[in-house]
Amino acid sequence: MSDCIFCNIVAGQLPCGKVYEDDEVLAFHDIHPFARVHFLIIPKAHIATLADAGPEHERLLGKMLLLAPRLAKEQGLADGFKTLINTGRGGGQEVFHIHIHVFGGGDPVRKT
């Protein structure tokens, strides 16, 4: 087992509620949702934070971002959604494997 939770999810060593998967990207429901719909989009490759991403990740990060509206719509967020990337301890990041939060539904939601 890796010491990275999300790498273990990618490796199939921890379960997840899968929303989407291809050879480079995985999306799954957040275990502690703060909205009716709340899922995470992650790269399969380990990149710790957005600040650790480089030019070689430009296409991958673009792909992840463009997946957000498509998957949000599939998850029933036809009316819109929020996206969030916490970066570093000062940015409130808890899992150090880069991920995009996508959430919405129900009452307007706010992440502080």
Sites of contact with ligand 5GP (CB under 6 A) = 5, 14, 16, 28-32, 86, 92-95
Going through 35-108 in order, the beta strands assigned E by DSSP cover 37-43, 82-84, 100-104
Active-site hit among 38, 97, 99, 101: 99
**Dihedral angle sign, alpha carbons of residues 2, 4, 5, 10:** negative
Which of ligand 5GP, Zn ion, none binds 61 (CB below 5-8 Å, type-dependent)?
A: none
- Judged by CB under 5 A, the residue of 4, 25, 85, 109 near Zn ion is 4
**What is the 8-class DSSP label of residue 99?**
-
The single residue among 36, 46, 57, 63 that binds Zn ion, judged by CB under 5 A, is 46
- Whether 97 sits among the annotated catalytic residues: the reply is no
Residue 84 C-beta: closest distance to Zn ion, Å: 18
Q: By CB under 5 A, tell whether 28 contacts Zn ion.
A: no
Contacts (Cβ under 8 Å, ≥6 apart) of 45: 24, 60
Task: CB nearer to ligand 5GP: give 30 or 60.
Answer: 30
Considering only residues 64 through 103, tell me which ones interact with Zn ion, judged by CB under 5 A.
97
Evaluate the CA torsion angle 54, 60, 63, 68 in order and state its sign. Answer: negative
User: What is d(CA 51, CA 35) in angstroms, rounded to the nearest whole number?
Assistant: 26
Write out the catalytic residue numbers.
Answer: 99
